[in-house]
Structure 1
Amino acid sequence: MPIEAGGVARRSELLRQGLTVNEIDQARRHGELQRVRWGWYSLPGADPAVIRAVKAGTVLSCVSSLKRHDVWTRDSQHLHTRQTEYRQRHKRVRYRNDIKVCMAAERESRPCAGPVDSIRDALLTMLECRPGWELTAAMDSLLNRNRTTHSELWDLLGHRGGKAVKALSQMDERRESGSETRFQLALESEQISYQMQVRLLGYRVDTLIGRRLIVELDGWSAHGTRKAFENDRERDRRLAAAGFHVIRLTHQQTMEQLEAAMVDIRTLIRRREHLRRVPL
């Protein structure tokens, strides 16, 4: 059965891919296709999130679509969608139960051809929905994995106003996680100079402030194993013995408690702890 994008497709798409009306009806009778709503069908075992979006008269978009495309996004308690082109001409709905219907950048977003927005359209919707740093983090993720270029992103968003231009100007393909993006943009907002992805004693550290203040950003996926735990403590010990001051921030601390961490970092900087010479 020629269905992709989460196992859900429009009837018109099935016809375009070569199925006949009789074949679609027969597949429904045999349980090979299930009707999600008028004009939309799913395979058994289709992605429940995609089905929920389509049942609500929307398509998966914004951070929910980007996550499905394996792009970094911040976790959200809502399923993010946007309305189909028919519903965009009628009354807007912002929330349906646990579904957030995002306000798409209407002049740029395309009709919803499938149940899951492309990366392009998801970024346009994200621009209207999420904070600028999250947009920068998503673009950093794409750049880091060589899935787009700076020029392509500027062509897409560069004419969309100040928020988009600021997010674009802060992109850096060296960042490997949203935690790095969020923390380093916080440093930039306070005009704190730093270096990223620096090699010290054979280790690559996430962020170096001044000569000796190291800030490591620990996501659970990369640091949650026993081996990673042991390796991290060994490198911290060796770096401390060499004269560096190491701080570790978890993903949760970076996302939800960043200001508290910044208070401590500003305190160390005021004491000029970051400027002491390291006797390498």
Structure 2
Amino acid sequence: MERVTGAVRQAGGVVRTAALRARGYSRRSIEGAVSSGLLTRPRNGWVADPTADPYLVAAARAGVVLTCHTEARRLGLWVLRDDTVHVAAPPHHHVGELRNGTHVHWARPIVPRHPDALVDPIENVLALVASCLPHEEALAVWESALRHELVLRESLERMPLPTAARSLLAECSSYSDSGLETFVPVRLRFLRLPIRQQIWLAGHAVDFLIGDRLVLQVDGGHHVGAQRRSDIAHDARLKLLGYHVIRVDFAQVVSAWPEVHDMIVRAVAQGLHRAA
């Protein structure tokens, strides 16, 4: 029984019994592990390690796969919201018990789903994100996936993407370090000024250079302590070189964008983006 429980953990913690049988484990050893409490049975035909990811166990119980921003977050992609669990199932598929508020996507997948899968392939995840999330948030997830090299742009370009997904792909940049940096170019497009990302100035990369001289830095949660002191020193060097620096943080970009917008447009109105 220890061998079969080890195989379940190696397979991710939740697995079809048919997959275990195909690997040579007997029905008797599987049933013995369940009877002794070494494995649980989320649904007929599935077994799980008691310490398995609850999301995977719930997906097996309901006969669905994790997808959209739920799976994007599990993959470590930049996701702003974490409100509702999103799953997918084939059209007309009978879905088992789901947690209240779970959103089911019934759209046909771009990449076929294996019957043993409990998570959607990244291409399906991105396609559903494109149609489900607001534009800025969806773009942030897509750019994060490309930046982490979970999928290649060239591969996506060859796939039959829905219109919303293909539009996002065309807009994606490879320069944003976070979703916050994705939001900024979209929101400042109306200025019709060059906005360059990750430009090397005075020994360090800056998040955005607007025009020739206006620098916008967007701080994440790690900008504290030594990092904060380094940021202040870099800002001082930039100012001595004739740049104007606006530094904002996560909360300002997400929840107080009008304040950031006002600072930028007033700096532009004063010509602080132009070289002397």
Do these two structures clear the TM 0.5 threshold for a shared fold by scoring above it? Answer: yes
TM-score (normalised: structure 2) = 0.85
1:209 and 2:215 equivalent? no
Q: Distance in 2 between matches of 1:127 and 1:115?
A: 21
- Number of the residue aligned with 1:165: 166
Alpha-carbon spacing, 1:17–1:172, altered in 2? closer, same or farther (3 Å): farther
Whole-Å Cα distance in 2 between the matches of residues 138 and 66 of structure 1? 7
Deviation at 1:142, TM superposition (A): 2.8
Q: CA deviation at 1:265?
A: 1.3
Which residue is 1:230 aligned to?
Answer: 229
For residues 183 and 13 of structure 1, the distance between their equivalents in structure 2, rounded to whole angstroms, comes to 47
Q: Deviations along 1:189-214, whole A, 9 cap, x unmatched?
A: 55332111111111110100012211
Q: 1:104, 1:125 within 8 Å by CA — same for their partners in 2?
A: no
User: Does 2:256 correspond to 1:257?
Assistant: yes
Query: Could you tell me how far apart the structure 2 residues matched to 1:189 and 1:106 are?
Result: 36
1:91 Cα offset (Å) = 7.5
CA contact (8 A) 2:111 2:121 kept: no
What is the one-letter code of the residue matched to 1:244? Answer: Y
Matched, 1:28 2:34: yes
**2:230 is aligned with what amino acid?**
N
Residue number among 69, 74, 77 corresponding to 1:68 in the alignment: 74
Where in structure 2 are there 5+ consecutive unaligned residues?
1-5
Describe how 1:39-58 pairs up with structure 2 within 5 A: 39-58=45-64
What letter corresponds to residue 121 of structure 1 in structure 2? N
* Range moving further from structure 2, 202-211 or 183-192: 183-192
CA contact (8 A) 2:66 2:88 kept: yes
* CA distance in 1 between partners of 2:62 and 2:242 (Å): 57
Distance 1:75 1:17 in 2: 39
> Identical aligned pairs, as a percentage?
28
Partner of 1:35, secondary structure, is coil
Matched with 2:120 is 117
Query: 1:166-205 maps to which residues of 2 (within 5 A)?
Result: 166-188=167-189, 190-205=191-206
Aligned counterparts of 2:230 and 2:152: Cα–Cα separation in 1: 34
**Cα offset, 1:175, TM superposition:** 1.9
| Change in CA separation of 1:275 and 1:104 when aligned onto 2, cut-off 3 Å | farther
Structure 1 residues 19 and 259: CA distance shift in structure 2, 3 A: farther
1:138 and 1:5, CA in 2 relative to 1: closer, same or farther beyond 3 A?
farther
Of stretches 48-57 and 121-130 in structure 1, the one that deviates more from structure 2 is 48-57
Does structure 2 conserve the Cα–Cα contact (< 8 Å) formed by 1:5 and 1:115?
Answer: no
Please list every run of 5 or more consecutive structure 1 residues that lacks an aligned counterpart in the other structure: none
Counterpart-to-counterpart distance in 2, 1:190 and 1:164: 26
